[in-house]
Amino acid sequence: MLIDSAQLRSKVKLKQFQSENLLKAHHPQAYKLLTSSAIAASLMLSPAQALPTQAALPSTSTSVLVSSFDIRQAIKDQLKTLLPPRLEPLTPTQEAALTELFHQDFGIHAVPELEGNRLNHVYGYIGAEQHLPRFPGDTAFQHDAYIDAGITPGLGAWGYVPDSQKEKYYVAVQTLYLPDWQVRLPYLRDWYKFRKVIVVNPDNGKAVIAVIADSGPSYWTGKQFGGSPEVMHYLDRKDGAQKGMVVLYFVDDPQNQIPLGPLEYNLEKGPPRLT
């Protein structure tokens, strides 16, 4: 018999949260004693073991201690209400709400327009790209994973991608269709080169930080973005008939402090932990 386990988990999690709050509200001193002693006992019993993540809470909760699963669930639930069901341009209100959401849940500043630059789409279909060459003679077999994805016969739009991490987590965006691309080519080419972005799959709430390292896909493919094998795998996005949509925003990270790869916790608050 099938069950919607995510839905059930959310319901049970909410009840757990409510029951804990009830105890905390009715007996604050006793609750403090209960939890502080439990933590002390846990520390004494297993000093080298990581403490368990505190139960996840719904977005309305006041707690900051949430696991990556809960962040994904929160993002997924909120995107469901924010995004249009079909591919269409987002309104300024929707765009602003996404910026707020990404800041609230991931602790990053992500925007649809940065330094006066914006893509034609921030919400669209993503297709699977191949690996990009990192150096002359690079082959798919020399990459850490997803060898079957192959490697592009030519270079990326910005040449070799010498940084392996950037090659792993890259996206292709349609810079070639920007209205001012030809006019401002020298400036825009440099501006977009390895520009940091966040890509979010609204169907599962998974997010990845990547860089722009290629141009495409062509408009006739019906897709607006391309993702490296690692990006597509992490986001659980497929190509072809099963293609799905993503949100892609610029990440405002002038100090280059945000690491590339899966984004599984709120960067401002740090990894989930029990305090």
Q: Which residues contribute to the site for another protein (CB under 8 A)?
A: 1-5, 7-9, 11-13, 15-16, 19-20, 22-23, 26-27, 29-30, 33-34, 37-38, 41, 55
Q: CB neighbours (10 Å) of residue 240? A: 7
Judged by CB, which is closer to another protein: 54, or 175? 54
Name the 3-class secondary structure at 163: coil
Give the distance from CA 207 to its chain's centroid.
1
CB of 168 closer than 8 Å to CB of 151: no
Closest distance to another protein from the beta carbon of 234 (Å): 19
CB of 271 closer than 8 Å to CB of 112: no
- For residue 98, which of 117, 81, 73, 115 has the smallest C-alpha distance? 81
Judged by CB, which is closer to another protein: 19, or 91? 19
Closest distance to another protein from the beta carbon of 99 (Å): 32
Judged by CB, which is closer to another protein: 24, or 118? 24
Closest distance to another protein from the beta carbon of 272 (Å): 14
CB of 239 closer than 8 Å to CB of 216: no
Cα(206)–Cα(211) distance, rounded to whole angstroms? 17
Cα(206)–Cα(270) distance, rounded to whole angstroms? 17
Task: Report strand pairing: 170-173 vs 207-215.
Answer: parallel
Name the 3-class secondary structure at 266: coil
Judged by CB, which is closer to another protein: 19, or 139? 19
Judged by CB, which is closer to another protein: 13, or 118? 13
Closest distance to another protein from the beta carbon of 69 (Å): 9
Q: Which residue reads 């986001």 in tokens? A: 235
Closest distance to another protein from the beta carbon of 7 (Å): 5
Closest distance to another protein from the beta carbon of 24 (Å): 9
Closest distance to another protein from the beta carbon of 2 (Å): 4
Q: Which residue reads 């919607």 in tokens? A: 4
Task: Report strand pairing: 244-251 vs 207-215.
Answer: unpaired
